[in-house]
Amino acid sequence: MSYVNPARFTTRPEIEGTFGVVTSTHWIATAVGMATLEKGGNAFDAAVATAFTLQVVEPHLNGPGGDVPIVLHDVRKGRTEVICGQGPAPAGATIAYYRGLGLDMVPGTGLLAACVPGTFESWMLLLRDYGTLRLADVLGPAIHYAREGHPLLERAEATIRSVEQLFREHWPTSAAVWLPGGRVPEAGSLFANPTLADTYTRILREAEAGGGSREQEIERARKAWSDGFVADAVDRFCRTRKVMDTSGEAHRGVLSGHDMATFRPRVEAPLTYDYGRYTVCKPGPWAQGPVLLQQLALLKGFALDGADVTGPDFIHAVVECAKLAYADRETFYGDPDFVRVPMDVLLSDAYNDARRALVAPTASLEFRPGSVEGYGAAVTVRQATGSRAAVAPSGAGEPTVGRMGTVRGDTVHFDIVDRAGNMVSATPSGGWLQSSPVIPELGFCLGTRAQMFWLQEGHPAALAPGKRPRTTLSPTLALRDGEPYLAWGTPGGDQQDQWALQFFLRHVHAGLNLQEAIDAPAWHSEHFPISFWPRTARPGVLVVEERVPAETRRELAARGHGIEVGPAWSEGRLTAAARDGWRRRAAANPRGMQGYAAGR
């Protein structure tokens, strides 16, 4: 007789402890975050250290010139907040200027697509107002790995190889960093970026030079970045260099030092939606996050408890609701500082009851946004030809996991819970090595988030100076029975709020633990326009992992879905962390570019 109670299979155990947990998309960053907790830092200190390390060890996925939304719960304040680290369009970025260059879309690469970098200022705000450690404590690991080197990821090598000719022919400053010795560095080789190490070392040196409190030190670091040598180098590069981009022509940038000096990240209240015992918290409609909330509002009308999460009924309902919510995203979302976004209507029971009635037994092939009088704008849906994975050989768009397992890059994500119960969920992105040329004095490039604007007057997401682009970056935090409970998210552009939703539904309705919910077979719809250049859609296409049962795939095809089957482990890079009473739990993605969780 056996007394062993066999657990359900997972690719790795769900981490459980009492002290704290860190889960991220890279093992070194996870280790750095955990070490920060162990030396006395809180979750916010660990977040800053993790984030700077991710810039170094996953440079094809994020960088110093990028952007970040952060959702956090501060035990001391007793509330959940959002830090908007999405930099706005430069003062010189007008529709007329871009149209005058003969453009009908903002290019997917190069300097014209650069918004104000938002990451550094956001991490300094988090460290100053929520953290406890000094700047050297959180910058030190990133400086070490940039100067001494780290094992180059296989996917980083593949990304560099994919843009090798672009670097050689048009972006020589990038070739100088990413083609050391004139060659693509091999996966697993020790790769260093000493110029980036010098940049952060100089910031730290200038920050510490005046002595004083940690707050004064952080303020001097901010000045060095936004109103000092970093901003000067950015300004000079954008003014003096003409850079080849996806338009096929070379252009100068419009981002200036003054744009950087006047930017400050802001702290906002999250948008929320009550779903049974849970209150789900997301960034506002300057990001795509509310699309997850509206999917919940639509799915609330389905009986999902105990559902077969790999069965055709469940997948069909989730996909058809996603189509409706994402159509509303394209039609209504934008920076609420510039346009009115009717979130109260879009998340209301009456509106979603009417929208839910559109879900039929068969798949819709139409783009069907709702109507709210006085809001939104019509969207012209351009259909893609072939696979999205073939788009943008020169590195355009937010790099994301493509169908059939091909990868152009991605984004990063991490979740942290400390002993006190402080929680952080963050999705840093942008400034990928393939975004635009390296600024030679700094060792990093600018981001390309402005490609998400429409050059269409009157659209809520139309380009305007000082306006935030409607980013896809979308961390999530949920309360359960009024208590902060779960932080989670994933890289993946438009797919982020499909994969994050699937994880949540599996956990809530099927009772899967965090790791089981991540491991379960996944899918994504390509029915709606992607948010990045070239802004195309593939109506009705549903990409599923081959682990989705064959019977389910056949039934979905019979219902009209255009089924495309990807490799067994190809959908999403989720991480998740929870506080459940005295327990701290975490789990991480086993797919492709694997995530790593640690805790004790």
Beta strands in 389-474 (DSSP E): 414-417, 423-426
Render pLDDT for 8-51 as a digit per residue (tens, 0 to 9).
Answer: 789 999 999 999 999 999 999 999 999 999 999 999 999 999 99
Answer for the pair 571, 524: CB distance below 8 angstroms, yes or no: yes
397 inside domain: no
Render pLDDT for 314-340 as a digit per residue (tens, 0 to 9).
Answer: 999 999 999 999 999 999 999 999 999
Render pLDDT for 359-378 as a digit per residue (tens, 0 to 9).
Answer: 999 999 999 999 999 998 88
Render pLDDT for 191-240 as a digit per residue (tens, 0 to 9).
Answer: 999 999 999 999 999 999 989 999 999 999 999 999 999 999 999 999 99
Render pLDDT for 521-575 as a digit per residue (tens, 0 to 9).
Answer: 999 999 999 998 888 899 999 999 999 999 999 999 999 999 999 999 999 999 9
Look at residues 182, 244, 577, 290 and name the one whose alpha carbon lies nearest to residue 414: 577
Helix axes 312-332, 496-509, angle to 10 degrees: 140
Q: What is the mean pLDDT of residues 400-420?
A: 67
pLDDT tier at 392, thresholds 50, 70, 90: very low
37 inside domain: yes
In the predicted structure, residue 383 carries a pLDDT above the cut 90? no
Answer for the pair 260, 236: CB distance below 8 angstroms, yes or no: no
360 inside domain: no
pLDDT tier at 400, thresholds 50, 70, 90: very low
Which one-letter DSSP state was computed for residue 287?
Answer: B
Q: Cα–chain-centroid distance for residue 209?
A: 35
Checking DSSP bridges between strand 583-588 and strand 15-17, what pairing results, if any? Answer: antiparallel
Q: What is the mean pLDDT of residues 98-110?
A: 96
The upper half-sphere exposure of residue 340, i.e. CA atoms within 13 Å in the direction of its Cβ, equals 7
Q: Looking at residue 4, what is its pLDDT?
A: 57
Which one-letter DSSP state was computed for residue 20?
Answer: -
444 inside domain: yes
Domain holding 50, by residue range, is 31-64+87-267+427-452
Please give the structure tokens belonging to residue 15.
Answer: 């981490």
Answer for the pair 243, 171: CB distance below 8 angstroms, yes or no: yes
Q: Looking at residue 481, what is its pLDDT?
A: 97
284 or 397: which leads in pLDDT: 284
Look at residues 300, 306, 274 and name the one whose alpha carbon lies nearest to residue 511: 306
User: How high does pLDDT run on average in the chain?
Assistant: 94
137 inside domain: yes
Q: What percent of the chain has pLDDT over 70?
A: 94
384 inside domain: no
100 inside domain: yes
Q: Which residues, in sequence order, are CB contacts of 190 under 8 Å at separation 6+?
A: 149, 150, 151, 152
In the predicted structure, residue 405 carries a pLDDT above the cut 70? no
Render pLDDT for 131-186 as a digit per residue (tens, 0 to 9).
Answer: 999 999 999 999 999 999 999 999 999 999 999 999 999 999 999 999 999 999 99
Q: Looking at residue 5, what is its pLDDT?
A: 54
Q: How far apart, in whole angstroms, are the C-alpha atoms of residue 454 and residue 578?
A: 37
What pTM was estimated for this model as a whole?
A: 0.95
Residue 273, φ and ψ in degrees, nearest 5: -145, 130
Q: Is 31 exposed, middle or buried (0-12, 13-18, 19+ CB in 10 A)?
A: middle
Helix axes 119-130, 43-57, angle to 10 degrees: 160
Q: How far apart, in whole angstroms, are the C-alpha atoms of residue 239 and residue 225?
A: 18
Residue 505, φ and ψ in degrees, nearest 5: -65, -40
Number of domains in the chain: 1
What's the length of the chain?
Answer: 600
187 inside domain: yes
